[in-house]
Structure formats: structure tokens, C-alpha cells
Amino acid sequence: MIEFLGVLLLFLLGVRLSAFFSGIETAFYRASKLRLSIDAQTGDPLSQKILDYVREPSRFVATILIGNNLANYITTFAIGYASILVMGELTEVAEVGVTVCISPVIFIFGELLPKTLHYRAPLILLKRYFLYFRLIHWLLLPFSWPLMLLTSLLQKMGGTSQQPMMKILGRRPLANVIGRGHDEGVLTSAQHDLIQGVFQNANWPLGSMVTPKEVAISFEQTPSRAKLLDCAQSFGLIEIIVGEGNEEMPSISYYRVIDLLLSKAPLHQLKRIPPVISSDSSRLEALYHLQEQNAELGAVYEDGQLVGVIRHRTLAESLLQGESPVGATPS
């Protein structure tokens, strides 16, 4: 009787371990990494520990793999030993029959039920059981360490650098939040398009958005208000860019038409100097720099040479576009 009770406890342990690893695996991939990141930044130590595994997923995967195999081995051993205690001698037919009878119990309580619960409340259950998972991780480390080394070796042999896990797991939940916000009416269509544009186009280079200096700059050694306004009217400009000095290495400035029309101040007080933008900057970096300097346009330089100008409104409009430029690659 005591022996049979021990086998029953061993079986329950195997089912519990199977439920634990199945559930926490579902919770780990289901939980919002954006929420974890926010909690970690506010000082939650548990969220910080979870993010350590997010950044190095091979640690988590190796522990889950070995843990599931251990749970299956314990369960199988308990079933087989209990069958021998009851039947005395276990034939192949009896072994298959016992397996068929016990499988629904293991599937429901060791797989289906825990996965369903952790799917519905991933963050709560992940934090509740994660300390136990860390303990098991350290206990199984002698067995999981070779798997992690093998994973690292295969990555090096493949010659590919894995994208940071936070970018894979963090971007999708954030995009889902934005989509739900639009569906629920929290975000307007314009706000939704802007955010989607930032996601798709923010890292693309400036490229054809730069107006070449030969087209954008007018060389006027002593510009007058009348000449500037006439140039603006002829070409439909709202900013007039003026180059001074050598055309090969000019120093540029610009005047806003609205300032020329509304202000009687001397031209040297209305002159604005555009901030310098590197040609390898991304669209979002350039837009942020212009916004920070409160400038309508920037001077784009490549290897110390002026190549053209970029306008604030052109960058802002590009973030509302749904498609990335053909043939371009993100910076």
C-alpha cells in the first residue's frame, strides 16, 4: 500500500511539473514585454529578472526543454510502475491500454488546463511562478548549459547575429495596442496613420527627400527684401534659401516669407541658420533634430560637404506614408 501511494505521489508530481512548464512557457511568450519593460523601469525587481531571460531566450528555452522531458519521464515511470504493481506482468497490449486510459488525464491537467489559464492571465501567473522557475533553472543548469553552448556555437557558425529579443517581442504587442486603440476609437485615423508611419518609415535614410543644393540655394551676395519676395512669388516658396561665399563650399541661411511680410526688422535679424544634418541620419533622427532646433529646414552634409537641404514638413509627411521607398534599405 505504501509503495502504491509513493507511485501515486510520483505520478502527481510528474503531472504538476508538466503543468508548471507548459503554463509558464505559454505565459512567457504571451505576456506583454512592453508592460514588463515599463514595470522594470519603475523599479520592479521581478520584472527585471524576467527581462534577463527575454534578452537571452536560450536560457529559458533550454530549461523548459529539459523540464518537460523530466516531467514526462517521471510520469511515464510512475504509470509503468503502477501498472506492474496492479497487474503483476505488463504485456504490450496492457501497456498500450494503460497509456490510452491515462493520456486524457495528463493532457487535460498537464497541458490544456494550465496553458488555458496562463493564456488568459499571462503576466499575473508569470510573476507568481517565476521565482520557482528561476530555482529550477539553477538546479537544471548543469544539464541546460551544454544546450545553451550548442545554441551559441550554431549561431556563430551560421554567421548571423540574432536580433535583440526585445525588438521581436516588444514591437508586436505595441503594434497590437495601437491597432486596438484605433478600433476602439481612442486614436483617430490620422494619429493611427502617423504611428504606423513612424513604425514603417522612421529608420529609412533621407535619400531622395534631400533637395540638391544646386536646386535649393540661390546665391545672393547682398539680398534685398524685394528680391527675396520676388523669388518666393516666382517659385512658390515659403522659405528662401540663400548661399553666401564660394558655390563649392557655401554657407547657407534662409528667410521665412511670413517674416519678410509681417516684420519691418532689418534682414540680418530675420536671417535664420539651418542646423546641420548628417546624410546618414534616419528620417526620425533628422525630424527630431529639426524639431529640437525649431527649424523649418536643415543643411545636409556628407563627408564635410554640403549636398542639399531637408525640409521639416517633407519629413513629417513621409511618416504618414504607408510604404517604404522602393530599393532602399533601413539605416
Contact 126, 28 (CB under 8 A): yes
Kindly give the confidence (pLDDT) of every residue in the chain, 331 residues in length, as a single tens digit, with 9 standing for 90 and above. 788 888 889 999 999 999 999 999 999 999 888 788 878 888 889 999 999 998 888 889 999 999 999 999 999 888 888 888 877 776 777 777 887 888 888 899 999 999 999 999 999 999 999 999 999 999 999 988 888 888 778 767 765 555 454 444 445 555 565 565 555 555 566 665 666 666 666 667 787 788 888 887 776 667 888 888 988 888 888 988 888 766 666 778 899 999 999 998 998 899 999 999 988 888 878 888 898 888 999 999 988 888 889 998 888 777 666 445 544 555 5
C-alpha cell at 137: 533553472
Considering the four listed CATH numbers 3.30.470.20, 3.20.20.10, 3.10.580.10, 3.40.50.300, the one that applies to the domain covering 207-318 is 3.10.580.10
* DSSP E strand boundaries for the chain: 211-212, 218-219, 239-244, 251-256, 276-278, 297-302, 305-311
Q: Which residues of 287-305 are buried (b: 16+ CB within 10 A; e: fewer)?
A: bebbeebebbbbbbeeeee
Cα-Cα-Cα-Cα dihedral sign, residues 244, 236, 191, 164: negative
- Closest residue by Cα to residue 31 from 20, 42, 23: 23
From residue 217, give the alpha-carbon distance in Å to each of 50, 65, 126, 249, 286.
54, 64, 60, 12, 20
C-alpha cell at 219: 546665391
Residue spans of the domains in the chain: they are 2-160, 207-318
